[in-house]
Structure 1
Amino acid sequence: MDDQLILMGVIGKPHGVRGQVRVNVFAEDPEVLAAHTLTDRKGRQFALAWAHENVAWLSEVTQAGQRRISDRDEAAALTNVELFIPRSALPEAAEEEFYLADLIGLRARDEAGREIGRVGNVLDFGAGASLELTPGGRLIPFTKACVPVVNVAEGYVVINPPLEVEARDE
């Protein structure tokens, strides 16, 4: 396991006038975010303390210590900041489970076993995850029907694209 950064949440709009923010959490257990130092894309570090459901206090973590975000304007400036933790901080996935980030880089095979590319990215725009295959950028819905086999240990997924995707690729 490496120290790849895993997206765990996104800071939303401010809540109130004292610096609290809404946080969109991508973890099964929101407490995971409060248990770790979070990093953004610029390398800034944050600590989070839940005030109540999906609303938190944020503190910027520096070498000098933690400084709580304490006003609405400073909180508003953090809207849409993505929060990451190192992959190594996450628990091992249970048998027959995996993290979506673990799919990136896996070989993509068709049902006959022919390699058709690799998983270049996992995207989720709110209606469910899709696998982006490279080369070509083809999007495959990440459902059991379209991706019937995921074998992280052996490094591949089996792709059975829906007819709409096959027709567009021809």
Structure 2
Amino acid sequence: MIVLGRISEAFGIQGWVRVQAFGDDPLSWRRMPKWWLSSDPDAADDAWRPVGLRACRAQGKGIVAAFAEVEDRNGAEALAGLYIGAPRDALPETASGEYYWGDLVGLSVENKAGVVLGVVDSLVSTGAHDVLQIRDGEVERLIPFVAAYVLDVDLDAKRILVDWEADW
């Protein structure tokens, strides 16, 4: 499962929820007729509960969503804190040069000199740009996920090439 976001709270009285999105284009999720919910973002795929998407729209700086199975505020309040996910094959295709965070986690990161800096452990959204959190044993590196530093992402080779020195 790819974790897309988290339900933060109920919105209104007709079963809508406010969603904290973990990506750049959450409105593209409207193309998925089902979303999957879980209290644990690391749960096994069969622990995620599918729900039918009734509607999804922009609201302020975020999004709100309504599910077929939830008709009122009480039902929406019960969903607060749950994670939203989807199997990778259910997600909309990304544009060229765009990636789902889940596709980047686990990729090896090496610099132009061929030095392996570690593996992508997670990503952090700073508002200005995303940051790759790289782990190599006890060493952690934070590399901005911007074109100035990330030169190539090769999902097939499971490798990210960066302009970053090992001692930075």
Q: Deviations over 1:86-122 (max 9, x none)?
A: 0022355455543332222221112211112111222
**Alignment partner of 1:32: what SS?**
helix
Please list every run of 5 or more consecutive structure 1 residues that lacks an aligned counterpart in the other structure.
60-67
Q: Does the 8 A contact of 2:29 with 2:92 survive in 1?
A: no
Which residue does 1:6 correspond to in 2? 2
Q: Do residues 138 (structure 1) and 141 (structure 2) align?
A: yes
What is the one-letter code of the residue matched to 1:58?
F
Which residue does 1:118 correspond to in 2? 119
Deviation at 1:161, TM superposition (A): 3.8
TM-score (norm 2): 0.73
Deviation at 1:70, TM superposition (A): 2.4
Moved over 6 A (4+): none
TM-score (norm 1): 0.72
**Alignment partner of 2:160: what SS?**
strand
% of aligned pairs identical? 30
Which residue does 1:17 correspond to in 2? 13
Greater Rg, structure 1 or structure 2? 1
* Distance in 2, Cα, partners of 1:127 & 1:118: 23
Deviation at 1:145, TM superposition (A): 1.5
Task: Identify which of 49, 55, 66 aligns with 2:64.
Answer: 55
* Distance in 2, Cα, partners of 1:41 & 1:95: 30
**Alignment partner of 2:132: what SS?**
strand
Please list every run of 5 or more consecutive structure 2 residues that lacks an aligned counterpart in the other structure.
40-47
What is the one-letter code of the residue matched to 1:37?
K
> Cα 1:160–1:80, aligned 2, differ >3 Å: closer, same or farther?
farther
**Alignment partner of 1:30: what SS?**
helix
Which residue does 1:151 correspond to in 2? 154
Higher mean alpha-carbon deviation, 140-149 vs 38-47, is at 38-47
Q: Does the 8 A contact of 1:8 with 1:33 survive in 2?
A: no
Number of positions where the alignment pairs a residue of Structure 1 with one of Structure 2: 152
The RMSD of aligned alpha carbons is 2.7
Q: Does the 8 A contact of 1:36 with 1:47 survive in 2?
A: yes
